[in-house]
């Protein structure tokens, strides 16, 4: 089975890399978190001390990092991937970053004879663990076809949406929809609670209709249980919406609802909730209404 490099073993990268091991791939891994590296080595991976060292050993290298600056540094910086990349190799960046940065990095890699796909994911930690992520891919058709089997070891849906950068445009569109769905859910459930109606029953009543969504079914049970431990951290969603606004300004696309939800998220982060799940958006509405939905659920229903 093919040898793959994997850089970035965080909340998403670690389970994704474990799924590659389960699928039979040989992994060379790197991360600044040595505990995460040790966990992967114990599962069968081989460690490398720098991104350059990873790149020198593999024909395909995956990066899964927090944001544009980290990806640029790991790929183009001192001791980076570009210093060890082999001609004909492929870098698959599965981070969620600025599409223009994806295009910049791809151009630099092309100068060294290497290709690139941007392939951000959706589904959060649960789907990273069970290997059912949605993967949105930008890049050349040949590179996409050559990497489909690899990507399907981590995701249930793998769709090429265009040339390099298109994957991150699709991911930003996804993040806009998710954020607005969570905000709408939060506003509606707090409204119901403030009006004295059990919000858990409102959820049951509306989930099968037009208002139902995967976001509603994923997040409503968690907010009723007051579970705000991160499946997807609020601060990372802030990063994604910030990138969306930047891209929107660049292409001339107005994003007023995105900007409003971003301000809500930033207010929560300022209150110390940046590491909470993005479902914590509901706490903003609860604070404004002075109502907590968990306290209004009617006993016996």
18 included as an active-site residue: no
Q: What is the pLDDT of residue 232?
A: 87
Task: Look at residues 163, 189, 215 and tell me which one is the last residue of a structural domain.
Answer: 163
Task: Look at residues 147, 163, 179 and tell me which one is the last residue of a structural domain.
Answer: 163
Of residues 171, 194, 219, 239, which has the active-site annotation?
A: 171
Count other C-beta atoms under 10 Å from residue 284's C-beta: 21
Q: What is the pLDDT of residue 230?
A: 83
Tell me which of 301 and 187 has the higher pLDDT. Answer: 187
pLDDT digits (tens, 9 = 90+) for 258-276: 999 999 999 999 999 999 9
Alpha-carbon distance of 222 to 220, in angstroms, equals 5
Residues 157 and 34 in one domain: yes
Q: What is the pLDDT of residue 231?
A: 79
Are 138 and 119 in contact by the 8 Å Cβ rule? The answer is yes
Q: What CATH number has the domain bearing residue 198?
A: 1.10.1040.10
**Host domain of residue 128:** 3-163
HSE-up (13 A, CA, CB side) for residue 37 = 16
Are 296 and 203 in contact by the 8 Å Cβ rule? The answer is no
Residue 300 lies in a domain: no
The yes-or-no verdict on residue 300 having pLDDT over 80 is no
Q: Average pLDDT of 293-298? A: 63
* Predicted model pTM: 0.90
Q: What is the pLDDT of residue 297?
A: 52
Task: Look at residues 142, 163, 184 and tell me which one is the last residue of a structural domain.
Answer: 163
Q: Average pLDDT of 244-260? A: 96
pLDDT digits (tens, 9 = 90+) for 7-26: 999 989 999 999 999 999 99
Q: What is the pLDDT of residue 295?
A: 61
Residue 301 lies in a domain: no
Q: Average pLDDT of 190-198? A: 95
pLDDT digits (tens, 9 = 90+) for 109-155: 999 999 999 999 998 888 999 999 999 999 999 999 999 999 999 99
Q: What is the pLDDT of residue 299?
A: 40
Are 91 and 85 in contact by the 8 Å Cβ rule? The answer is yes
Count of domains observed in the chain: 2
């Amino acid at each position: 089975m093919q040898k793959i490099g994997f850089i970035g073993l965080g909340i998403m990268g670690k389970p994704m890399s474990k799924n590659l091991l389960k699928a039979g791939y040989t992994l060379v891994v790197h991360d600044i978190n040595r505990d995460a590296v040790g966990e992967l080595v114990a599962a069968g991976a081989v460690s490398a001390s720098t991104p350059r060292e990873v790149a020198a050993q593999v024909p395909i290298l995956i990066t899964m990092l927090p944001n544009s600056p980290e990806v640029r540094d790991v790929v183009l910086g001192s001791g980076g991937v570009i210093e060890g990349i082999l001609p004909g190799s492929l870098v698959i960046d599965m981070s969620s970053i600025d599409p223009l940065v994806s295009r910049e990095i791809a151009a630099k890699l092309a100068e060294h004879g290497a290709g690139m796909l941007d392939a951000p994911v959706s589904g959060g930690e649960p789907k990273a663990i069970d290997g059912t992520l949605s993967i949105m891919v930008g890049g050349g058709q040949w590179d996409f076809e050559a990497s489909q089997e690899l990507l399907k070891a981590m995701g249930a849906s793998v769709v090429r949406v265009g040339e390099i950068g298109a994957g991150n445009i699709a991911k930003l569109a996804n993040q806009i929809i998710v954020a607005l769905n969570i905000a709408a859910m939060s506003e509606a459930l707090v409204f119901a609670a403030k009006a004295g109606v059990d919000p858990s029953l409102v959820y049951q009543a509306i989930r099968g209709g037009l208002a139902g969504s995967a976001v509603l079914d994923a997040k409503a049970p968690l907010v009723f249980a007051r579970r705000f431990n991160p499946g997807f951290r609020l601060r990372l969603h802030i990063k994604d919406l910030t990138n969306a606004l930047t891209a929107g300004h660049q292409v001339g696309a107005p994003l007023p609802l995105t900007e409003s939800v971003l301000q809500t998220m930033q207010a929560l982060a300022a209150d110390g909730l940046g590491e909470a799940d993005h479902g914590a958006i509901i706490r903003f509405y609860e604070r404004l209404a002075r109502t907590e939905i968990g306290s209004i659920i009617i006993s016996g229903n």
